[in-house]
Chain A
Amino acid sequence: MMRSRLALVILLAACSGRQNALDPASAQNRSITALFWAMFVVAAFIWFVVTVAFLVPAVRQRRTTREDAEPALELPAETSRRQTRLVSGATAVTVLILLVFLIYDFGVGRALATHPARALTIELVGHQWWWEVHYADPDPSKIVIDADELHVPVGQSVQIKLVSRDVIHSFWVPNLIGKRDLIPGYTSSIFFTADRPGVYRAQCAEFCGHQHAKMALDVVAHPAPEFSAWLERQRAPAADPSDSLAANGKRVFLSAACSKCHAITGVEAYGTVGPNLTHLATRRTLAAGTLPNTRGNLGGWIVDPQSIKPGARMPSNQLESRDLVALLAYLETLK
């Protein structure tokens, strides 16, 4: 009883979570998961039958064999005919199962390849080791550039255009869809339709160097109206700080190394090496899904990023503690 309950708990843990291929949150992944379970059940059955088939003769002999029971080398013709029939039969069943899998897989592949002509297009650029997200709009002033967080509406087909300008990365949100590589020199796309709101975790799936392990991305699926509101808020430039501490922090930001690499819309900071910080304070995580976005973590990350993500492009910043406090106060206003 105890043990079976434990097994159930482990099984549930294995099949749920916000970074789990077996806990689908999109129509596409529901069909992939169904295919997986069908293949899994058949495979487990085949494995069981094969294991029994070779264990029976092995165990049987242990009980019965004596020294004198050395079998004759030659087989009776009847036995070898029966063997031929059995082996041929097993082969035929193998072929049949493979054929069924093949057709099933083609069916799922076709379903995944069909998508509505009009989809919301989001461009994702992979960098060593963070994600840049562009929400396209015909009106250039409405383009939103964000980082390390992907927001999508529920119930609407989304096209993610995948681009990389350094090495190969791979975009993979297990709950939503299988992976697709971001390959320099190629632009490719992946389509999915989230059917359940939630925050799903994606992580780079193609080895891309030192910090491949810490290159994650939160994918937030909102109900459609909530998504529109979120996008509208992102279009606003950074507000000017109202209190003097934050205003001081803004000066620190512009005079220290920060603006060489980071951009903030509405401020004289245009760097494109690192993530755009216009709405930094609204993000859930820092350093590409590595740390929760808290004031302490942000401070630690600014001062000593190399101990958190060794090899990352962000240098250490030796700031006076007064300046750091001001800078943090400013960054917290970037909502």
Chain B
Amino acid sequence: MNDGVRAGRARSSVDQEDAVLPPPQLIDRERLEADARQLDVTWRDPGGLWGWLTTVDHKSIAKRYIITAFLMFIAGGIQAAMIRMQLALPENNLLGPDRYNQIFTTHGTTMMFLFAVPIMNAMGLYFVPLMVGARTIAFPRLNAFGYYAYLVGVVFLYVSLFLNTGPDAGWTAYVPLAGPQFSPGHRVDVWAQVVTFTEIAALAAAVNIIVTALKMRAPGMSLNRIPLFVWAQLVVSFMIVFAMPAVATASTLMLAADRAVSTHWFNPAEGGDSLLWQHVFWFFGHPEVYIIFLPGLGMVTPIVETFCRRRVFGYDALVLANITTGFFSFGLWVHHMFATPIPELGQSLFTAASMLIAIPTGIQIFCWIATMWSGRPRLTTPMLFVLGFLFTFVIGGLTGVMLASVTFDKQAHDTFFVVSHLHYVLLGGAVMPLFGAFYFWFPKVTGRLLSETLGKWNVWLFVIGVNVAFFPMHILGLNGMPRRIYTYLAETGWGPLNLLATAGAVVIVVSVVIFIVNVAVSWRGGALAGPNPWASSGLEWATTSPAPSYNFVHTPVVLGRHPLWDSVGPFPVITGLRTDRREVLVTTVFDARPDHRHKEPDASIWPFVLSLAMGVTWIGSIFTPWAVPTGFAMTLLVMLGWGWQSSRVTDVERVETEDRLVEAE
């Protein structure tokens, strides 16, 4: 009921515009085609290698981002498979402790820092502008810079691993083990700097998504009409802004300084504190989990809506659940430290907070189930992935509630029970929706549908594989198996369940191989999708598949939460943006009323050069602290170059009255 009132008010604001403007009119095909031709000339990036390095098209960058991050998923998966092979039998000799420690640390580092966060960011960088009806992202050059910074981190970690310098102190790098005394050499330095690159990339993406979602929405898309995927991305971006500086401080300033210039932040012998690391790390590390799976939950909503052909139940509740989860996630970090000497009263507080966060997550699940009951779910591959998500993620959520209990957590902490829990949450809560999203939005990116037959194999094997691989680990943990051990004695009796877990891992590998085959075959040979193959409701389906470099010929106007389901007849658009230069429409934060026109930058090589300069600085700092001042000077020069060029071309114009609201065919 509320909804109707709000929609009415929004509509009247559009009416007010109409009072000043000439009446709406239909755009004829000729005008449409002429505009499209001109826009293509303006927005298309130059071809060739130069064009490839200088492009600032958010879709090209995000596509590279997604592909790189998926390659990292495969790399991390290969490491996972090696871990499972080693643990399949007691006292196995496949990997020695030195190699095993590098492999499990690189697995965690890759999956958390180089796969999960980047791929969720990248999905946002690709789809947020399309979903809010924008021509591009807010800061296209910053976006390109973020990707190259991330790429430098990826290359650096893997070159190091192949040079036998892979990090080996765990992805959490607890001191003093990761400190200079117990981890001499450069292995932990590599970890600390890889984290730096991903922090910078994540911050760049977060700032971009926040501004795009708040300032570049199509006219009429007031805050209460933002698609839930965009809400999730917005909340997560704010979380990144608050969480990433903590790990940046911990790894880049404190740990790296302890290791490179002998500060003693974490050295108790010199007045430092070895527990401080855990506080600062988990202040980032716990929100990190939600940074990974909130976007996953954001992907579930459009899939459920589309395949149940129902507006999602409880939009307001879902938005509030997202926001409260974001807030609460910063108040849970101590539940990773229940086994340390923390006052008991403090522990109780964190127990309560950790249980509390189950409530918003529960509400979201109830809302999706209510939506499914009111509609008729079509069991396509994306929808099956959502069902797999519900089946798997709920187990991870419930074990999470169990782990919130201090007394039980002290039994389960740092055992395979926790390994199982975190994989249930991340594979169930983030990766399954992500695969669903791949099937759902693949046609928007490539113009072709993925094969449903292969998709069904993919989803069934994945859900079965994950559960067979990880469920036994709950029992192993309770049976005393600590995590991060490279082998175990036969007398512990952990052999059979470990073998079963390895069998599950094999099933996961087969499933992912099927997905890769599906992508390889369908990229060129899949069925043509057309603009909106699923009859879905979001703005991203209002343009061609794949979307052109300028996203939309004319900026759409939004009349409700489900633009393509709400408008009957001609689709309303706004004109008046110049087509001869890269101009975008900036709208107000709350009501998305047109505010001004903004010129976005053209293609540029500077983001690439800056990321290289930064790479040299951070990587050099491992070997000599003098790399930092030298690198600063070098980076400053590059930034001058960057600023010099763009200062000539940025300008802003108020929206003028001649801009007209018109309806296209």
**Residue from A36, A43, A109 in contact with B348 in the complex, judged by beta carbons closer than 8 Å:** A109
Between B391, B406, B480, the greatest number of chain A beta carbons within 10 A of the residue's beta carbon is seen for: B480
CB-CB under 8 A for A205 and B415, given A113-B344, A290-B489? yes
Q: Which residue of A lies closest to B344 (CB)?
A: A113
A125 to chain B, nearest CB (A): 15
A179 to B339 Cα, complex, angstroms: 6
Cβ of B96 and Cβ of A310 under 8 Å apart?
Answer: yes
Is B8 close to A, CB under 8 A?
no
Residues from chain B with a CB closer than 8 A to the CB of A5 are none
The one of B169, B387, B411 that contacts A178, using a Cβ cutoff of 8 Å: B411
24 example contacts (A-B, Cβ-Cβ < 8 A) are as follows A17-B480, A21-B478, A39-B408, A40-B402, A43-B398, A43-B401, A50-B390, A65-B378, A70-B309, A87-B366, A98-B401, A101-B355, A101-B405, A105-B351, A167-B177, A172-B480, A174-B411, A174-B479, A178-B339, A183-B275, A183-B340, A186-B340, A203-B485, A208-B177
What is the chain A residue whose CB lies nearest that of B371?
A83
- Are B410 and A178 neighbours in the complex by a CB distance under 8 Å? yes
Cβ B177 vs Cβ A108 within 8 A: no
Is the C-beta of B523 less than 8 angstroms from some C-beta in chain A? no
Contact B309 A73 (CB under 8 A): yes
User: Cα distance A79–B370 when bound, in Å?
Assistant: 10
A217 to chain B, nearest CB (A): 12
Q: Is there contact, CB below 8 Å, between B482 and A35?
A: no
Q: Does A212 contact B (CB under 8 A)?
A: yes
Judge whether B352 is part of the interface by a CB distance below 8 angstroms.
Answer: yes
Instruction: Collect the chain A residues with CB atoms within 8 Å of residue B374's CB.
Output: 75, 79-80, 83
Residues of B contacting A257 in the complex (Cβ-Cβ under 8 angstroms) = none
Residues of chain B lying within 8 A (CB to CB) of residue A113 = 344
Question: Known contacts being A54-B387, A61-B378, A174-B411, is A22 close to B478, with CB within 8 Å?
Answer: yes
CB of B101 closer than 8 Å to a CB of A = yes
Instruction: Write the nearest CB–CB distance from B370 to chain A, whole angstroms.
Output: 4
Q: For A73, what are the chain B residues with a Cβ–Cβ distance below 8 Å?
A: 309-311, 565
Whether B402 contacts A91 by the Cβ 8 Å rule is no
Across the interface, do B339 and A98 meet the contact criterion of CB distance under 8 Å? Answer: no
Closest A residue, CB atoms, query B376? A61
The answer, yes or no, to whether B631 is at the interface (CB within 8 Å) is no
Q: Is the CB of A178 within 8 A of B407?
A: yes
Per-residue interface assignment for chain A, residues 44 to 56, with 1 indicating a CB less than 8 Å from any chain B CB and 0 otherwise = 0011001101111
Q: Does A311 contact B (CB under 8 A)?
A: yes
Of A21, A62, A83, A181, the residue contacting B370 (CB under 8 A) is A83
Q: Are B480 and A181 in contact, with the CB atoms below 8 A?
A: no
Given contacts A61-B377, A94-B362, contact A211 B97 (CB under 8 A): yes
Contact A71 B376 (CB under 8 A): yes
| Any B CB within 8 A of the CB of A204 | yes
- A residues 154-183 near B (Cβ < 8 Å) are 166-168, 170, 172, 174, 177-181, 183
A163 to B427, CA, bound (A): 37
Do B369 and A54 have beta carbons less than 8 Å apart? yes
- Further 18 A-B residue pairs, CB within 8 A, beyond A20-B478, A184-B268, A188-B341: A17-B479, A19-B492, A29-B411, A47-B395, A53-B369, A54-B368, A57-B369, A57-B375, A58-B387, A75-B310, A79-B374, A87-B314, A95-B359, A166-B176, A167-B176, A170-B482, A179-B411, A207-B169
Contact B358 A168 (CB under 8 A): no
Residues of A within 8 A of B395 (CB): 47
Interchain CA distance A134-B176 in the complex, whole Å: 24
- Cβ contact within 8 Å between B97 and A311: yes
Residue of B nearest to A62 (CB): B379
How far, in Å, is B344 (CB) from chain A's closest CB?
6
B369 — which chain A residues lie within 8 A by C-beta? 50, 53-54, 57
Are B480 and A20 in contact, CB atoms less than 8 angstroms apart?
yes
User: When each residue 172-216 of chain A gets 1 if its CB lies under 8 Å from chain B and 0 otherwise, what string results?
Assistant: 101001111101111010000000000001011111111111100
A264 interface hit (Cβ, 8 Å):
no
CB distance from B534 to the nearest CB of A (A): 13
1/0 per residue B458-500: CB within 8 Å of A?
0000000000000000010011101111111100110000000
| Interface positions of A (Cβ within 8 A of B) | 13-14, 17, 19-22, 29, 31-32, 35-36, 39-40, 43, 46-47, 50-51, 53-58, 61-62, 65, 69-71, 73, 75, 79-80, 83-84, 86-87, 90-91, 94-95, 98, 101-102, 105-106, 108-109, 112-113, 128, 166-168, 170, 172, 174, 177-181, 183-186, 188, 201, 203-214, 290, 310-311
Known: A73-B565, A90-B362. A213 touches B97 (CB 8 A): yes
Return the contact of B339 from the options A22, A50, A101, A170 (Cβ within 8 A): A170
Q: Sorted from nearest, which 4 A-B pairs have the closest CB atoms?
A: A178-B410, A185-B268, A213-B485, A19-B480
Q: What are the residues of chain B within 8 A of A290 when measuring CB–CB?
A: 489
- Known: A62-B379, A183-B341, A310-B97. Contact between A105 and B311, CB under 8 A? no
Residue B162 at the chain A interface, CB threshold 8 Å: no
Q: Which residues of A contact B96 (CB under 8 A)?
A: 310
Hey, which chain A residues are within 8 Å of B363, CB to CB? 87, 91
Q: Are B101 and A210 in contact (CB under 8 A)?
A: yes
Q: Which residues of A contact B483 (CB under 8 A)?
A: 207
What are the residues of chain A within 8 A of B379 when measuring CB–CB? 58, 61-62
Supposing A19-B480, A75-B310, A203-B480 touch, asked if A54 and B372 sit within 8 A by C-beta, the answer is yes
Q: Give min CB distance, A7 to chain B, whole Å.
A: 13
**In the bound complex, how far is the Cα of B325 from the Cα of A132, in angstroms?**
44
Q: Nearest residue in B to A83 (C-beta to C-beta)?
A: B370
Cβ A181 vs Cβ B359 within 8 A: no
Within 8 A of A (CB), among B390-426: 390-391, 394-395, 398-399, 401-402, 404-415
> CB-nearest residue of chain A relative to B272?
A185
Contact of A181 among B177, B269, B314, B339 (CB under 8 A): B339
B82 smallest CB distance to A (angstroms): 16
Neighbouring B residues of A101 by C-beta, 8 Å: 355, 401, 404-405
Give every chain A residue within 8 A of B174 (Cβ-Cβ).
167-168, 206-207
A83 smallest CB distance to B (angstroms): 4
* Assembled-state Cα–Cα distance A290/B339 (Å): 25
Q: Which residue of B lies closest to A187 (CB)?
A: B341
Say whether B373 faces chain A, with CB atoms less than 8 Å apart. yes
Interface membership of B273, Cβ < 8 A: yes
Chain B, residues 269-297, CB within 8 Å of chain A (1/0): the string is 10001110000000000000000000000
Judge if B182 is at the interface, Cβ distance under 8 Å: yes
**A105 neighbours in B (Cβ, 8 Å):** 351, 404-408
Query: Residues of B contacting A177 with CB < 8 Å?
Result: 410
Which of B510-548 touch A at CB < 8 Å? none
- CB of A65 within 8 A of CB of B411, answer no
Task: Tell which of A53, A83, A186, A205 touches B482, judged by Cβ atoms closer than 8 Å.
Answer: A205
Nearest-Cβ distance from residue A317 to partner chain B, whole angstroms: 21
Contact A186 B376 (CB under 8 A): no
Distance in Å from the Cβ of B266 to the closest Cβ of chain A? 9
Residues of B within 8 A of A75 (CB): 310, 374
Residues of A within 8 A of B344 (CB): 109, 113
Which residues of B sit under 8 angstroms from A108, Cβ to Cβ?
A: 405, 407
Q: Which chain A residue has the least Cβ–Cβ distance from B360?
A: A91
Kindly list chain A residues whose C-beta atoms are within 8 Å of the C-beta of B506: none
Cα–Cα, bound, A102→B377 (Å) = 37
CB-based nearest B residue for A203: B482
Residues in A whose Cβ lies below 8 Å from that of B314: 84, 87
A95 CB to nearest chain B CB (Å): 6
Contact of A21 among B182, B359, B480 (CB under 8 A): B480
Contact B485 A212 (CB under 8 A): yes
- Chain A residues lying within 8 Å of B503, measured Cβ to Cβ, are none
- Give the complex CA separation of A56 and B313 in angstroms: 18
**Cβ of B367 under 8 Å from chain A:** yes
